[in-house]
Structure 1
């Protein structure tokens, strides 16, 4: 009888732990560092409007001297369209428009050189530009679900100096506590955890999105 009680209790603990970990899979991904003065605030590729809007707000509050945009990469779709004589605007051009509409001076907006096809490449490009500028701190703006991975990649690929401040776009509708209720949030959580596992494993899987 005692063994059965212990077995049932152990199973209940395991189930409770599994439920806790499942529900925490979304909240663990989200961090939001306190704002500090920095050389620049950087808009990562993706979700153009929200990230650019937050970067503009940070700039106008005086926390950053400049706003940097990551250039993104060239996809197979871009190449196919170019071969047909169709030029698709690069994503950062929309970010530029958002920033200028929100009264960020054009001379304060800079597109980083090169190409960045994933988050790791973006982190390296930002670190190079920051070193050239002699900056000691940078603010990166991204989506809520993406913040933890950005921080981990920065600390691993760059280190704690220069310092990174990670901020998320507040208008982002990702629900970290109930991420399993919508397909969009479920995909975001799956992608982030896969991206983290891929990084910890040494990037065995290449991707334009991770």
Structure 2
């Protein structure tokens, strides 16, 4: 009877050590994330807007800090289906912010990718799914209720080590403070990581490769 009990103790001890190691990695990732957010004021920004229904995809340069390009006012009346903001300093990409609508305009997605001297270490995703509902105060008009899913993906050595998710709903009349309050109050759920699950790391890599291969970026050291 001693051997099975001893094996059980060893397995439990191993699991505890593994859990502590992951939490240590998560804290390190959160520190890197906060350092980047705090340093964005010093970053060079590039803003690209994607024109709809173009094959291959056509991105228009709308803003560039280094080259003093600012076409945002000129382009604000032009329709786009996605926006990409690149933040970098010391020739290193630190953050990508992507936002875009689905083809039917019913869903909207925002993804924020964070990089540490090349490899992606964290990304956050906000997915807006719009649904119609009957307003109790009106028998005629329907409002649009957005169900929001927020996901956070943590990576170590390009491997997903933690996936957190929360869900909540917002009304069209909710202001930014109300949306922030709902987000903060929504409970996090840890999602089991299945074999082969890489979060959004493939998307981040593909965006980087697209930017370089099409001449939108020419940074050393990525």
Q: Check whether TM > 0.5.
A: no
The structure where strand makes up a greater share of residues is: 2
- Say which one has the larger Rg: 2
- TM norm structure 1: 0.31
